[in-house]
A = this chain, B = another copy of it.
Amino acid sequence: MFNAVADECRRRILASLARGECTVGQLTESLALPQPQVSKHLRVLRDAGAVRCRTQGRHRVYRVDPTALRELHEWTRQFEALWNERYDRLDDLLHDEEFDVDTDSDDEKGPT
Contact = CB atoms under 8 A, between A and B. Distances in A.
Kindly name the residue among A15, A64, A83 whose own CB sees the greatest number of chain B CB atoms within 10 A. A83
A33 to B, nearest CB: 18
Interface in A12-32: 14-15, 18
B83 A76 contact: no
Interface in A78-97: 78-80, 82-83, 88, 91, 95-97
| Copies of the protein in its oligomer | 2
Nearest to A91: B63
Contacts of A79: 14, 18, 64, 66, 69-70, 73
Q: What is the interface residue range for chain A against chain B?
A: 35 or more
24 contacts: A2-B2, A2-B5, A2-B6, A2-B11, A11-B75, A18-B82, A52-B97, A54-B95, A54-B96, A54-B97, A54-B98, A55-B98, A63-B91, A66-B79, A66-B83, A66-B88, A69-B76, A69-B79, A69-B83, A70-B79, A72-B76, A73-B76, A73-B80, A76-B76
